[in-house]
Amino acid sequence: MSSVVSGVPQPVAQSVAIGRGGLAAPPVGYGAAALGNLYQALGDDEWPGIVPAAWAGGIRYFDVAPHYGLGLAERRLGESLRQLPRDEYIVSTKVGRLLVPQDAAGRTDIDNLFDVPADHRRVQDYSRDGVLRSIEQSLERLGLDRIDIALVHDPDAHEREALEGAFPALSELRDQGVITSFGAGMNQSAMLARFVRETDADVMMVAGRWTLLDQSAADDLLPLAHEHDVTVLAAAVFNSGILATDAPAQDALFDYGPAELPVVERARSIARIARRHGSSLPELAAQYPLTHPAVAAVVMGGASAEQVSRNSRLVARPVAAEVWDELREHGLISRERHPVR
């Protein structure tokens, strides 16, 4: 499943298994939140170029959710993907938030970070019926013949409902061939680890917890996933932006808020080591998650064709083994060398 040899990431060209149902794609995916007007609206001369740029860069896995722009991201992603060969890409979307129509009354959804009319409201529903309705609605918005992977979205306050409702429903849908794989996507690793132990899910997406600056998923999710043959997809690998440039600024963001000085200094230390070996901090940020054999792919966003093209190139040139060795020596990443599956 891993795209690494002896802990060193390999070029993006090869495909890796995602889940246990026969899906495979190169080890970099596109997270489509920006297609839902994340932070700011994308014009009709901007968003149509994003998926083609991802495709040209070798990306064949696309992740979305109803939450992103109150369904706008699903509609735009589907419109873009319908122009491409269906058997050559993987689509994942999420369940747990149903979209219910309402009168926008001139309001936008910017309080939830999306610059779209607030013409729907989100209703959290992790029940069996909620999952079935969510899948049906997502298929309609996407306009595609199928969803390959369904992920339970942020069930932090709904763990029991997800275990008793959402996961059994998704297991049924997988058995029926409606979806190929399922799991959960969250900003924490501990609950994902419990889902690995207590369900028959085969894919987990962890956001921000397996990065150069936060390696907490190594304490629970990653070893369990490796043991249970569950694919891990690593998202938010730039930790809100601090790792996205080769010179982290003093006012850089880390996990959705201002980064504290020790975090900035640590990122800068990593960047200096990267430069000394002819690499960049964003390259290390994109490739480091792939050094664990449970991780099949990194999922990165992008609000323009240029950003997406750049992100796809970040995993194309393998980081030298000496870089990881030096980072370990300085205590900047875990000293553990992960076994290869």
68 is catalytic: yes
Structure tokens at 264: 């900035």
CA distance 335 to 25: 29
- CA 200 to mean position of chain CA atoms: 20
Give the residue carrying structure tokens 């009354």. 105
Distances, alpha carbon 251 to alpha carbons 98, 275, 279, 330, in Å: 36, 21, 23, 24
Q: Given 30, 61, 68, 126, which residue is catalytic?
A: 68
Work out the number of other CB atoms within 10 angstroms of the CB of residue 335.
Answer: 8
**Residue 300: which H helix or E strand, with range?**
strand 295-300
Whether the CB-CB separation of 211 and 230 falls below 8 Å is answered with: no
**DSSP letter for each residue of 66-113:** TTTTTTHHHHHHHHHHTTS-GGG-EEEEEESEEEEE---TT-BSGGGT
Whether the CB-CB separation of 209 and 191 falls below 8 Å is answered with: no
Whether the CB-CB separation of 14 and 24 falls below 8 Å is answered with: no
Distances, alpha carbon 69 to alpha carbons 79, 116, 304, in Å: 15, 6, 16
Distances, alpha carbon 307 to alpha carbons 53, 84, 169, in Å: 9, 21, 37
Residue positions annotated with a catalytic role: 68
